[in-house]
Amino acid sequence: MSSVVFNLMLAIHLKIARARRLVQMLEDDAPLLARRVADLTPEHQRAAKEYATRLATQARAELEKLIQEHSFWNSGEFTPEAAD
């Protein structure tokens, strides 16, 4: 494996690990969110909860994208070619 491919794989692994941690934090925090926003107006509570939901959805989508990218690199479909 060339050093470029190795560095790309390492970068993908690090990104996947960070994305997994973020998703886990957001999932763990979901039950506590209601307590933190309890003193806000109903409109602000709803906005905060919707934002948290969008953030979690985006984090899961990014994690899935990174996992697919990792699978692509591991699939053997990518064959580095020599530069001209």
What pLDDT, in 10s, does the model give residues 10-68?
A: 788 899 999 999 999 999 998 899 999 999 999 999 999 999 999 999 999 999 999 99
Q: Give which of 23, 2, 34 is closest to 67, Cα–Cα.
A: 23
Distance CA 61, CA 23 (A): 10
Instruction: Kindly indicate the confidence band of residue 71, based on its pLDDT and cuts at 50, 70 and 90.
Output: confident
Distance CA 62, CA 71 (A): 14
Instruction: Kindly indicate the confidence band of residue 72, based on its pLDDT and cuts at 50, 70 and 90.
Output: confident
The overall pTM is greater than 0.85: no
Q: What is the DSSP letter of 84?
A: -
Instruction: Kindly indicate the confidence band of residue 7, based on its pLDDT and cuts at 50, 70 and 90.
Output: low
Distance CA 4, CA 52 (A): 36
